[in-house]
Structure 1
Amino acid sequence: MDIVKKSLILFVEYLQIEKNYSQYTIVNYSANIEEFALFMQEEGIAGLDVVTYQDIRLYLTKLHQMKLARRTISKKISSLRSFYKFLNREKLLNDNPFSLVSLPKKEGRIPTFLYEKELELLFSVSDLSTPLGQRNQALLEMLYGTGIRVSECAGLKKQDADLYMGTVLVNGKGNKQRYVPFGSYAQDALELYLKDGREQLIQKAAPNDAIFLNNRGNPLKAGGIRHILNELVKKSAANLHIHPHMFRHTFATHLLNEGADLRSVQELLGHSHLSSTQIYTHVSKDQLKKTYMSHHPRA
């Protein structure tokens, strides 16, 4: 399987240099290819050039037997298809048997989001007289007010936030940058935290330019954000199961429910493809009822 390892090294370089993919994505691609290489070894398949459509069908059967989600299987096959496509481009292989494989249909799950009353509960629990309370409020307002990913939020630097313009420069997937506006609530919360709470927290640690700090004054990580959100839910006494991505779902859902166009929401979320944004075109039951009551003659 040395040829697989050598080919994988070339493919990783391609993903890093030409495609500018994130390290997270590259690690997943590599793991999927290495997993298939192990399958080849178990089945006595001599090399990448002799893999057939029937071999792939057998591999798919094994993945299904492992009871993996359709989305997970799709990602594995997509990684291998890209790998073979690259090898074809480099003239290292002539065929791409994965091009014959159709990916499993997505499960069409509707993203979970928060209702406005649930948000109000969360926004009311932070003690704004304390540094951590100010930080938590700014964190909530930024996540909901911009729809940025948790990893993007954890990576924000002081110089990225323009309080005068009400925008933040976000470093997204694949090192793609975008400017995202935020409203008056997020601006007020961020201003208070940067002038007061953050100044107190930074005194506990070596100087750094991260916006969001932990209680020791060091940059807050994604896991820390998750923990903070869980604690805020407990304080609000709300019967909610929150994951940080829900704020991103809520941001997109509320914008679309209030009439924002899909292309604008795509731009704000930093989605490369419109299809990624279209999962948010569902509407809440309250919005459906409101529309019905406003427009149906017999409502």
Structure 2
Amino acid sequence: MATPALTLHHMLDTYGDYLAYERGLSSHTVRAYQSDLQQFFAMFHVHGDDSLETLLPTLELNDVRQWLAQGTAEGASRATTARRSAALRTWSAWAYKKDYLPHDITMRLRSPSVDNRLPSVLSINQVEQLLTYVHEQEDRARVAVKEMPGDMQIHRQWRICSRDVAILEILYATGIRVSELCGLCISDLDSAERVMTVTGKGNKQRRVPFGVPAAKAMTQWLRLRKEHLRQSSAPDDDALFLSIRGKRIDPRAVRELVHHYAHAAGVPDIGPHDLRHSAATHVLSGGADLRSVQELLGHSSLSTTQRYTHVSPERLRTAYNQAFPRA
């Protein structure tokens, strides 16, 4: 029996399985790498069920460089270019081992430098302003329910508002990634100890604590979550945070609600990652050591934590005055 032709769809699926099950990469990274590879082959007008058997033996390093340069010319950031480069290097090494390529075409590809500019950081007062605003919105929704208890639309708005409060409180209280937040399950939450089990990159788990305000917001959301599940046609019973329809919430929805509330609260425009960086910065400024912040953020390397946590000039001056004999 003849071997079926190798199509782009088949290779993307096989490559995705390799990334997920052998490399242990997150579903977000797997999708990103597959998308990068799909765009690379689109440069050769290869799509979907098109065969790759004629093209693959002809690929060279210059093809990869041309595609990366094209992306840069179209405005791709250095971080995006670095990810695309990593996706193609990983794929090329894998494809060579699978005998899809006659040689590893990216062996001499240099990794582009990553943009080390820090994300936006809210001050402690700005975070308070943001969280106060979302709590006020939840209070208004609760009052509206009392005034019109039979209005199911108002009930749903209250539940969603309560969920949003819990999401923002948890994002700031824990500094977890948006993908980690969306992946949380009910069983990951230990309300009594105020800690949660977070599954990060490479399926590595860590225990992350959270404070009293976040715990109160979670208690309120968990109570309303039960009603939200009952009102949903196809609920996800295991997901901690739910969409309007009762499914597990996705990262895009979380990003949209963070941007929405930041704008409405009158603070600088931020996303979930900026809340993560703000939390880490505030913990560090409060006296935490870098190693503890590394554990909190789930970084495998301390050098990564050093990039995401900068020391405020005030704390640096205080430490200098206290420690240096000729300060």
* Band of TM-score, shorter chain: 0.7 to 0.9
Give the structure 2 partner of residue 18 of structure 1.
22
Give the CA deviation at 1:167: 0.9
Q: How do residues 1-299 of structure 1 correspond to structure 2 at under 5 angstroms?
A: 5=8, 7-40=11-44, 47-93=55-101, 95-125=103-133, 126-127=135-136, 129=139, 130=142, 131-132=158-159, 134-195=162-223, 197-205=224-232, 208-213=237-242, 219-236=248-265, 238-288=266-316, 291=319
Point out where structure 2 has 5 or more consecutive residues left out of the alignment. 47-52, 143-157
C-alpha distance in structure 1 between counterparts of 2:11 and 2:186, whole Å:
41
Give the structure 1 partner of residue 153 of structure 2.
none
Q: Which residue identity is paired with 1:104?
A: P
Identity %: 34
Cα pair 2:92 2:104 within 8 Å, conserved: yes
Give the CA deviation at 1:79: 1.3
250 and 31 in structure 1: CA distance in 2 versus 1, 3 angstrom threshold: same
The 10-residue stretch of structure 1 (58-67 or 159-168) with the greater mean CA deviation from structure 2: 58-67
Give the CA deviation at 1:33: 2.4
Q: What's the RMSD between the two structures over aligned residues? A: 3.4
Residues 187-240 of structure 1 deviation map (CA, whole Å, 9 limit, x = unaligned) = 233234434x4455445335634333456766544344344434533553x242
Across the two proteins, how many residue pairs are aligned to each other? Answer: 294
- What is the SS of the residue equivalent to 1:30? helix
- What is the SS of the residue equivalent to 2:107? helix
- What is the SS of the residue equivalent to 1:232? helix
Q: State the TM-score, normalized to the length of structure 1.
A: 0.79
- What is the SS of the residue equivalent to 1:165? coil
Cα pair 2:163 2:221 within 8 Å, conserved: yes
Cα pair 1:4 1:48 within 8 Å, conserved: no
Point out where structure 1 has 5 or more consecutive residues left out of the alignment. none
C-alpha distance in structure 2 between counterparts of 1:203 and 1:56, whole Å:
51
Give the CA deviation at 1:286: 4.7
Residues 54-84 of structure 1 deviation map (CA, whole Å, 9 limit, x = unaligned) = 4444444433333322222222222111112
